[in-house]
Amino acid sequence: MKLLNEKVEHTTFGNGIITEADANRICIQFKDDVGVKLFQYPEAFEKFLKAKNSKIENKIQKDLHKKLEELELERQEKERKAAELEEKLKQLEPVKKKKATTRKTKKTS
């Protein structure tokens, strides 16, 4: 999607124009006293930025929704892996205790 030269509005910095864009970040030129600011794309459009062009804004919101879904899937996968690891550790605890008891018994004999 072509974002270069698109007009946006920031909640604090006001109106600006996108001067650079790639898959993960955008640069926006604001008034001279604010200057150029770098933002994560599309995350910044969740709360801080809004495109002036409604077609562009709709596309950005779709990108944002997709990104948030991907992040949620990653979080769920990490949570699943952590639960698996915790379960494996619980299964190993009785074995560790048994071995430790056996070693102590042999040393004191």
Any domain includes 57 = yes
> Is 0.75 surpassed by the pTM of this model?
no
Any domain includes 104 = no
Cβ-based burial of 99 (10 A; exposed 0-12, middle 13-18, buried ≥19): exposed
Any domain includes 102 = no
Any domain includes 40 = yes
The strand pairing partners of 17, in sequence order, are 7, 29
- For residue 45, CA distances in Å to 38, 77, 91, 106 come to 13, 25, 45, 66
Q: Tens-of-pLDDT digits for all 109 residues of the chain?
A: 689 999 999 999 999 999 999 989 999 999 989 999 999 999 999 999 999 999 999 999 999 999 999 999 999 999 999 999 999 888 887 766 666 666 555 555 5
Any domain includes 1 = no
Any domain includes 35 = yes
List the domain range (segments joined by +) for residue 71: 7-93
> Are 1 and 41 a contacting pair, CB within 8 Å?
no
Any domain includes 34 = yes
| The two three-digit tokens of residue 66, written as one number | 């997709």
- The residues, any chain, with a CB within 8 Å of residue 62's CB and separated by 6 or more, are none
Q: Count structural domains, the chain.
A: 1
| The two three-digit tokens of residue 108, written as one number | 């004191």
> How far, in Å, CA of 49 to CA of 19, rounded?
15
Any domain includes 109 = no
